[in-house]
Structure 1
Amino acid sequence: MPTRYVLKIPCPISGCSGQSKLSQWVCARDNGTMYVDEDGYLSCYSNNHRAKIIYWRFDCGERGSGSKHNYERYQSADLEGFSHAMAIGLPHLKEAGAVWVTKLIQSVENQFVNGDY
């Protein structure tokens, strides 16, 4: 089983005004903490909802002018947005280590670039 850590990243939606605020994410289905693992999967606390990052949709709560979330609450991240979010969030995940982080980055790239659905 992959090692998972609490997902602490800013909004991964490109152009969202929430891209500057580090957030701890909550699963909308069970209201539990979200986790990320090195295989590029997100899961809820109970692990009942686990899927590749490309299948998750995000709502950062930003509804103001200039936010990409003005009209559609949940949106899918793209590689640019998720890479930006990881670049901000991963330094706060010191316990994961370089090998774990490298595998996560490669897994996310495979999902977005190579169409690893």
Structure 2
Amino acid sequence: MGTWIELTNFMCPACPDKKGSDWVCAVDAGSVFINEEGIMECQSQTHTGPVINWKWNCGSDYHNGEFLQTDFEGFSFAMSQAVQLTNRAGSEWVAILLHNVGKQYGK
């Protein structure tokens, strides 16, 4: 089922403010994790799904209180800034993740 990595200090992929956040589930308030298959899941494992279906809100005024989906480019840019993911999971894990998320977006 993949290697799960907690999204800490991960840039908001849906917002131009480029604010890093420790991501938490809006419903459960637990940490959010991602695996190399491009699946995201909250700590309670209650909310799970592919990156393409996930919605983001970093608290920036840009969101206007809404949770927004991201495109492949926004997610890829956020990943490029997430050095800690490479440090924790390895560059091969990150490459597999980007490949799988790209497939979700038809890339």
Q: What is the TM-score normalised by the length of structure 1?
A: 0.83
Distance in 1, matches of 2:3 and 2:39, equals 10
Ranges in structure 1 where 5+ consecutive residues have no aligned partner: none
Q: What is the TM-score normalised by the length of structure 2?
A: 0.90
Corresponding pairs, count? 105
Find the structure with the greater CA-based Rg: 1
Pairing partner for 2:53 from 39, 50, 55? 55
User: Which whole-Å deviations, capped at 9, do the CAs of 1:64-114 have from their partners, x for residues lacking one?
Assistant: xxx2x13x511001111111111111x112120122111101011101125
State, as a whole percentage, how many aligned pairs show the same letter: 37
- State the 4+ residue runs in structure 1 displaced beyond 4 angstroms: none
Distance in 2, matches of 1:24 and 1:88, equals 14
Give, in angstroms, the shift of residue 24 of structure 1: 1.1
Partner of 1:97: 90
Q: Superposition pairs for residues 81-92 of structure 1, below 5 Å?
A: 81-89=74-82, 91-92=83-84
Are 2:80 and 1:80 aligned? Answer: no
Aligned Cα root-mean-square deviation (Å): 1.4
